[in-house]
Chains A and B, each alone.
Chain A
Amino acid sequence: MANLAGTTPASALTAARSSQPLLTIEGLTVDFSGVQVIRGIDLTVARGESIGIVGESGSGKSVTWLAALGLLPRTATVSGSIRLDGEELRGAAAMRLDRIRGRRVAMIFQDPSSALNPVIRIGRQVGEVLARHQGLSGSSIRAEAKRLFELVGLPDAERRFDAYPHELSGGQNQRVMIATALAGKPDVLVADEPTTALDATIQAQILDLLTTIRRETGMALVLISHDLGVVSETCERIMVMYGGLVVETAPSESIFASPRHPYTQGLLAALPPFEGALRQLVPIEGQVPEPENMPPGCPFAPRCPQRMAVCEVTIPRLAQTEAGGFSACIAGPATEAQKPLSLKTSVLA
């Protein structure tokens, strides 16, 4: 377990790996027609690291990365800073962004079957990236695509070049997506719920593939998921998002062993255990707040069992915890909070 002290949130967890982070996001906010959905996010990604972004629907975990790559519709207003090796990406010219997307930062999505173009052969969908970012053409595209298909474990790689997405299963299509992402030899792969639409045994295959590829190529992996188990088993560092904010970030080992933020504690208490004794699940009362009705203070305050008066007016900042992580909680960070027992019976009136 890493024990880092005296550094700022933005770089603390990566300081041990490299002095200069690969990707830095600072003060990122995103508004959709006046409604703020991302409310100031700071994070860094170091070379080769794997970071898991966890949150429930509406937490802003996907929007953060779409914003970082300039993939949001024009109705979105993005502010803050996104730097790749020191180069500012926010507001960068489209031509510049097109050289970064797919080349330095690749992204794959949930439901691979709809993320691939249904009327274009998959070989061409991979080939596009090879032509644009590797300068390949003609037969060398076919050869390299075959190599990539083999790398991601697509059976019958040679023949697949001319197949259409509907001729492949969901798991195979996700392998094609990963091959497409690898075609640009990226430094970072952002995987947005890559296994949510897949069956359990196929999910295991894909997660295994992502980990193997990361080890072999040294690229960084950002894994966005609603499933704590998925990020726990795949990532070294976990970032928990809620209401458009990062509420806790810590090394994977410590965040599940000793969660600091009441929301992280609540998530773990709500999760049915798969090992050990059965216990009554402890749900988090209430609902995830809508962006239009975001509470003025801590977004989790209305559902928080440790809520204090100050939580309802102040947005807490990430502060370092003794376990080497950061937690954005006024009430909690120093104390190992109690399980919210008071909630146990409240669902049934």
Chain B
Amino acid sequence: MFRFFAIRVLRAVLTVALVVTFAFIVLRLSGDPARSIMGDDASPEAMAAFRREWGLDQPLWMQYLHYFAAIFQGEFGRSMRGGGPALDLVLGRIPATLMLTLPALLMKLAIGIPAGIYAALHRNTAIDRAVMVTAVAGYTVPSFVLGLVLVQVLAIWFAWLPTGGTGSLQHLILPIITLGVGGAAVLARFVRSAMLEVLGQPYIRTASAKGIPWAAVVRGHALPNAAIPTVTIVGFMVGNLIAGSVVVESVFSWPGVGNLLVVSVAARDLAVVQCILLLVAVAMVLSNLIVDFLYGFLDPRLAEANSSGGH
């Protein structure tokens, strides 16, 4: 068991390192931070001074090594724009983002899972088809389109809700709905197919043949099996809590991590962008670890393979 987790953790660290490296390379190759922050008309001396200050005059591999070494010491660098520590800047934005993504996650689970189960149990009925048409629509429409439509209808035409910004609970409603709809649709489709797969298994027929009432068969025999694949996709959604709202935050000018990312990328504020990417990677990797652990808990076949025997 220890070996199993040690390897998983090692793999997780490697993944994070790869993400950071990738981010470093892409950002350094795509433009000159000095120029984008100082502006095109800055004097060559000022540019040189800026480069020296931020270490941009050193060879790329040195910058990379310094950057990596700093991260291992918990030092994420300073924002080139604001000057403050990048980590503080990012962490300060997280609560605002979670105010959107956590309720949106609850909405996805509360709507997606029951809808998927219900559709599977009423396969090929009008209800099933209605759920699926809604789900396909909900997941094909991009969130920025949905967000803009919601703003147009509810905020501009009816003026029930604010178009964006912060300040009250009402400001939360549109972004949360925009975030939740797509995920609920994905989850509904996924849960439906997982349930259909399970309901077609021989052990479901066995349970019925034993005289177990259908409701108890679904609850006791089908759901625990359908939960296993569903955990993966829910884990992905949890991993996305920090960074899953980039588009929606932009649409609703919400001061969260996503908004910070967009602004920082545009300004080539390297430290901030790298810090966000690192956090996102850590969140993803952590949620993957949790999924692995839950798998072992939900599926005894894996639990055994991980600990001792297996075939």
Contacts and interface: CB of A to CB of B under 8 A. Distances in A.
Interface of A: 66, 69, 71, 94-95, 97-103, 106-107, 109, 111, 114-120, 128-129, 132-133, 164, 166-167, 177, 180, 184
Interface in B6-31: none
B52 interface: no
B209 A69 contact: yes
Contacts of B298: 119
A117 B209 contact: no
Interface stretch (B91-99, B199-207, B258-266, B286-294): B199-207
Give the interface residue-count category, chain B.
20 to 34
Nearest to B211: A102
B82 interface: no
B213 interface: yes
Interface string B152-194: 0000000000000000000000000000000000000000000
Contact of A101 (B210, B221, B301): B210
Contact of B212 (A100, A102, A107): A102
Nearest to B215: A94
Contacts of B213: 94-95, 98
Contacts of A102: 209-212
Given A102-B212, A129-B210, 9 more contacts: A101-B208, A102-B209, A114-B202, A118-B203, A119-B299, A128-B207, A164-B300, A167-B309, A184-B210
Q: Nearest 6 pairs between A and B by C-beta? A: A102-B211, A102-B210, A101-B211, A117-B203, A107-B209, A164-B300
Nearest to B311: A166
A329 B298 CA distance: 55
A100 to B, nearest CB: 7
A146 B239 CA distance: 45
27 contacts: A66-B205, A94-B214, A101-B208, A102-B211, A106-B209, A106-B210, A109-B202, A109-B206, A116-B206, A117-B206, A117-B221, A118-B203, A118-B225, A119-B224, A119-B225, A119-B298, A120-B221, A120-B224, A128-B210, A128-B212, A129-B211, A132-B210, A133-B211, A164-B300, A166-B300, A166-B301, A184-B210
Contacts of A117: 203, 206-207, 221, 225
B304 interface: yes
A115 B304 contact: no
Contacts of A167: 304, 309
Contacts of B221: 117, 120
B267 to A, nearest CB: 51
A156 B210 CA distance: 24
Nearest to A110: B202
A99 B211 CA distance: 6
A272 to B, nearest CB: 31
A99 B220 CA distance: 18
Interface centre among B207, B209, B225 (most CB of A within 10 A): B209
Contacts of A180: 206, 210
Nearest to A118: B301
A128 B228 CA distance: 22
Nearest to A167: B304
A45 B190 CA distance: 45
